Amino acid sequence: MGAAIAEIVPAAIGLVLVNPLPILAVILLLFSPKATSTAPAFVAGWIIGMAVVLGLLLVVVSPDAVFGDERQPSTLASLVRLALGAVLLFLALERWRKRPGPGEETALPSWLNTLEQASPVKALGLGALFSGVNPKNLAFTVSAGVTIAQADLTAAASLVTAAAYVLIGSVGVAAPVVWYFVARASASATLARWHVWLMANYAVVMAIVLFLFGVILVTRGLGSLLG
């Protein structure tokens, strides 16, 4: 189980680093009138979305028949990693091409401006959509699912490993909320600075992280196919 957790940690960290928009959404919710209910609801939705997608992968797919194991990964498992890596590299290229030029303002989705009036139910739904349906997140979660399936773990060990992935992958959106409730005065000023920095740099951050993890997945997929 320890080896499986070590294998899924990079994907979970990638999930944290490649998601500036959800972090921006959480920060905006924390500055809204309903911060104490909407921000925790967003985090809860995020966790639920990740858990549902990963759980479906582990329940529906037969690991032995489809993915093989760590010593003998199936061709399909290698192709899945290769395809996911290619998707991440494509998204990295697209994000890099669309990054704002010097002096240009970053174009952000219009829905971010509606978060100030969001209800807890809407925040919960947005969190679940971000973590469960977003193509970038799906790539990381599917990769983690393949790794857990190949590890040939017991049901309890698979559950613990999946929980570790969800926990680590939720740090980016949960940390600002926890900090806000623990030390609201100091958190507010720092979160405001994070908001400004993320708005200016999120495209470049996403491109770099997507590229790095795309290379990792492509390398692992090719290594398994050619090895």
pTM of this prediction exceeds 0.85: no
The pLDDT tens digits for 100-132 are: 766 666 666 677 777 888 899 999 999 998 888
The pLDDT tens digits for 178-194 are: 999 998 888 888 888 88
CA–CA distance from 107 to each of 27, 117, 208 (Å)? 17, 21, 19
Q: How confident is the model over 81-108, as a mean pLDDT?
A: 78
Domain positions in the chain: 2-226
Per-residue pLDDT for 162 more than 60? Answer: yes
pLDDT value at position 44? Answer: 96
Per-residue pLDDT for 71 more than 70? Answer: no
Per-residue pLDDT for 142 more than 60? Answer: yes
pLDDT value at position 227? Answer: 60
3-state DSSP assignment of residue 67: coil
The pLDDT tens digits for 210-222 are: 888 788 878 877 8
Please spell the DSSP secondary structure of 1-31, one letter per residue. Answer: -HHHHHHHHHHHHHHHHT-HHHHHHHHHHHT
